[in-house]
Amino acid sequence: MTASSQQTRPDVAVDVRRRGPRRGDDRERAGWTLATPFFVLYFLFLLWPVLAAAWKSLFSDSLAGGNSKWRGLGNYGELIGDSDFWAAMWHTAFFTLLSTPPLIIIPLALALLVNRVAKGQWLFRLAFFAPYVLPVSVIVLVWNWLYQPGFGLINGYLTKLGFAEVNWLGAEGTAMVSVVIATVWWTLGFNFVLFLAGLQEIPRELYDAAKTDGAKAWQQIRYITLPLLMPTTVLVIVLQVIASLKVFDQIYLLLQGGPNFSTRPAIQYIYENGFTQYRVGYASALSFVFFLLIVAISVLLFAGLRRLQTRTGEETA
Amino acid sequence: VSVQAQDRLGVPAVRSDTAVASGRRRRLRPGGVLVIAILVIAAILWLVPFAWAIATSLKPDAETTETPVSWTASKITFDAYDSILGRGDIFRWYFNSALVSVVVTALTVLLASMAAFAFSRVAFRGKGTLFFFVAAGLIVPFQALIVPLFEEMDTFGLVDTYWAIILPQVASPIAVLVFKRFFDGIPRELEESALVDGASTWRIYWQIWMPLARPATAAVAIFTFVVTWNNFIWPFVVTTARSLQTIPVGLSTVNSFYGAQYAQVMALAIMGALPLLIAFLLFQRQIVQGISNTGLKG
């Protein structure tokens, strides 16, 4: 890979507008030499799959071999009428709707509290961030164990306290909630750290001034902290929504999309069509539609974010 | 590229590197007892799953499913650890994860910094277009591309090889952006003396800029390493051979051979968590900084 990419592009190098005796050519070549190795990998493994998905989605290819037939927009026609696909899209959206609020509110609350602690902040950061560095399979093994009926820790304490047991993983109504709880435990640390950093950029003088004016703690939070933290909050929301939309690992490993496909997310449906049904053409169409949706949502969110940031920038200026 | 971490999409950075997770911070007034109490309870609650996993792994297997639930058993035993270490899979997973993560991290740091240096410091034709494509990659959801990517690997004959796991994870636009941002912020005069000396662009990159870029290198390396170490979906899709399983993939098969032997399952979960957990305890500040700064931009 590296060897082939070391070759520069002579056509481009020769074509450069002459600036100095020789330096232009040298730098031209150097620029391409330095950028090419990365770009080759980037093109092969990020851009090409997008193009391949778009192209393959027009065929009835199978991973199992056999001849590939032109299908035109047939895969897309099938997709529009595929209720399983739209159910999976809804599960992804539902996971995002359920997971985003607690993944904003809880880390924000924890960061507000930790920010008031004078010593030992690192201890709390350690506790809240530690799960974030663990592989998803560890999260799933531990939470699967915690959620067990009867001898699972959570149900064990529920019965000890006189509550009824909850069928965490086996009932359609609670399975998604269970995944969300495990996800919150796992990933909250990331948002917590972002909030804490945002809080620490708020000038202390503002609080001092508010205090001399007799503002109470909650008034300081309401009128100083939260407004000034707004750019961070919006950014965290945007990142969280996009991350949640790509959910697959923990749902697949904890529930296999069940019970009765009630939690199966979009990416699992793509995966199953490609790798268990071997329908590469159709899976490519699904991939491409999902890809376009994620890109569109990301672009919209970031455009909104930037507008908001420039607006608050003007206000404070 | 994908972390549930983890992959977070690109945005303009909003804060300086020192701000995130900085130990030197302004103190607000000391928190009240109530604040501390709430936080301590929350922290304990956060540590309960770890503690329960450890407690379970130290019980005799027959006692793990006893009700009512209890934190202790008739005796503390390391039988579960004996059993899983004797089986030995975990060492294979450690080796594979370490190999893949080290190679991906080294290649990412090298190739991304080279490209970023070119984008930041070298004038060449097509630079704008090339950079646009790389930056656009930030919003490409890697997980949505597993089917065409697998087919591509199949065409190359790379399915079930280390290269199939490694190569796609090197193509990380985030890393280029982090390096470029860093290079953009360094004053130009530094390299002009070298230019006068007639040093080649390559030498300027390697001998002047890379030593200066240690903070960016550390952030990208830590982020890339953790993300690669924890990546589940891609190694899961592109390998079927047990000999190539990384920790996340190997651990996902645990239930099929340990089933309801929860002491063993928890011992495996703990062994799977251990390497990064130890690293995290030792380098907490650097890891939090590397992940949050890079993840923020990425």
Chain A interface test: which of B107, B124, B161, B246 (most A C-beta within 10 Å): B124
- Report whether pLDDT(B72) > 60: yes
Listing DSSP states for B91-128 in one string gives: HHHHHHHHHHHHHHHHHHHHHHHHHHHHHHH---TTHH
Q: Chain A residues with CB inside 8 Å of B31's CB?
A: 113, 116-118
Q: CA-nearest residue of chain A to B264?
A: A141
Tokens of B14: 């909003």
SS (H, E, C) A189-233: HHHHHHHHHHHCCCCHHHHHHHHHCCCCHHHHHHHHHHHHHHHHH
Q: Is the minimum CB–CB distance between B222 and chain A shorter than 8 Å?
A: no
Q: Chain A residues with CB inside 8 Å of B36's CB?
A: 117
Instruction: Return d(Cα A49, Cα A42) in angstroms, integer.
Output: 10
Cross-chain Cβ contact B125/A15 below 8 Å: yes
A314 φ/ψ sector (left φ>0, alpha ψ -120 to 50, else beta): alpha
Q: Is the minimum CB–CB distance between B86 and chain A shorter than 8 Å?
A: no
Instruction: For residue B50, list its beta bridge partners.
Output: none
Cross-chain Cβ contact B26/A204 below 8 Å: yes
Using omega within 30 degrees of 0 as the cis cutoff, is the peptide bond preceding A259 cis?
Answer: yes
CB proximity list for A91: less than 8 A, separation 6 or greater: A176, A251, A257, A262, A263, A264, A265, A266
A187 membership: H or E segment, kind and range: helix A172-199
Instruction: Return d(Cα B261, Cα B65) in angstroms, integer.
Output: 9
Cross-chain Cβ contact A141/B251 below 8 Å: yes
Q: What does the mean pLDDT of chain B come to?
A: 84
Per residue in A147-198, pLDDT (tens digit) is 998 889 999 999 989 898 899 999 998 999 999 999 999 999 999 999 998 8
Q: Chain A residues with CB inside 8 Å of B53's CB?
A: 141-142, 145
Chain B interface test: which of A57, A125, A132, A221 (most B C-beta within 10 Å): A132
Higher model confidence: residue A311 or residue A243?
A: A243
Cross-chain Cβ contact A56/B112 below 8 Å: no
- Report whether pLDDT(B208) > 50: yes
Q: Chain B residues with CB inside 8 Å of A44's CB?
A: 152, 167, 171
Q: Chain A residues with CB inside 8 Å of B42's CB?
A: 110, 124, 127-128
Cross-chain Cβ contact A197/B20 below 8 Å: yes
Cross-chain Cβ contact A133/B39 below 8 Å: no
Q: Chain B residues with CB inside 8 Å of A159's CB?
A: 68
- Report whether pLDDT(A4) > 50: no
Chain B interface test: which of A33, A58, A128, A133 (most B C-beta within 10 Å): A133
Rounded to the nearest angstrom, the minimum Cα separation between B79 and chain A is: 19
Reported ipTM: the value is 0.85
Tokens of A131: 């799960």
Determine if the pTM surpasses 0.90.
no
- Report whether pLDDT(A68) > 70: yes
Q: Which of A99-108, B3-12, B206-215 has the lowest mean pLDDT?
A: B3-12
Q: Report helix, strand or coil for B68.
A: coil
Q: Is the minimum CB–CB distance between B266 and chain A shorter than 8 Å?
A: yes
Per residue in A95-135, pLDDT (tens digit) is 999 999 999 999 999 999 998 887 888 889 999 999 999 99
Per residue in A194-213, pLDDT (tens digit) is 999 889 888 888 888 888 88
Chain B interface test: which of A34, A92, A180, A247 (most B C-beta within 10 Å): A34
Q: Looking at residue B221, what is its pLDDT?
A: 93
Chain B interface test: which of A46, A129, A188, A236 (most B C-beta within 10 Å): A46
Higher model confidence: residue A245 or residue A71?
A: A245
Q: Looking at residue B285, what is its pLDDT?
A: 86
User: Which ranges of A261-279 does DSSP label H, i.e. alpha helix?
Assistant: 266-275
Rounded to the nearest angstrom, the minimum Cα separation between A107 and chain B is: 11
Please report which confidence band the pLDDT of residue B145 belongs to, taking 50, 70 and 90 as the band edges. Answer: very high
Instruction: Return d(Cα A220, Cα A138) in angstroms, integer.
Output: 40
Q: Looking at residue B32, what is its pLDDT?
A: 79
Cross-chain Cβ contact B5/A121 below 8 Å: no
Please report which confidence band the pLDDT of residue A90 belongs to, taking 50, 70 and 90 as the band edges. Answer: very high
CB B56 within 8 A of CB B261: no
SS (H, E, C) A232-247: HHHHHHHHHHHHHHCC
Number of C-beta neighbours around residue B44 at 10 A? 11
CB proximity list for A168: less than 8 A, separation 6 or greater: A147, A149, A152, A154, A155, A174, A175, A178
Cross-chain Cβ contact A159/B148 below 8 Å: no
Per residue in A12-28, pLDDT (tens digit) is 333 334 444 455 677 78
Tokens of B93: 């997973």
Cross-chain Cβ contact B134/A42 below 8 Å: yes
Q: Residue range B212-233: average pLDDT?
A: 93
Please report which confidence band the pLDDT of residue B200 belongs to, taking 50, 70 and 90 as the band edges. Answer: confident
Q: Which of A52-66, B66-80, B227-241 has the lowest mean pLDDT?
A: A52-66
Please report which confidence band the pLDDT of residue A316 belongs to, taking 50, 70 and 90 as the band edges. Answer: low
Q: Chain A residues with CB inside 8 Å of B69's CB?
A: 151-153, 156-157, 160
Instruction: Return d(Cα A119, Cα B3) in angstroms, integer.
Output: 32
Please report which confidence band the pLDDT of residue A50 belongs to, taking 50, 70 and 90 as the band edges. Answer: very high
Tell me phi and psi for residue B295, to 5 degrees: -60, -30
Describe chain B by its helix, strand, coil percentages, rounded to 5. 70, 0, 30
Instruction: Return d(Cα A199, Cα A186) in angstroms, integer.
Output: 22
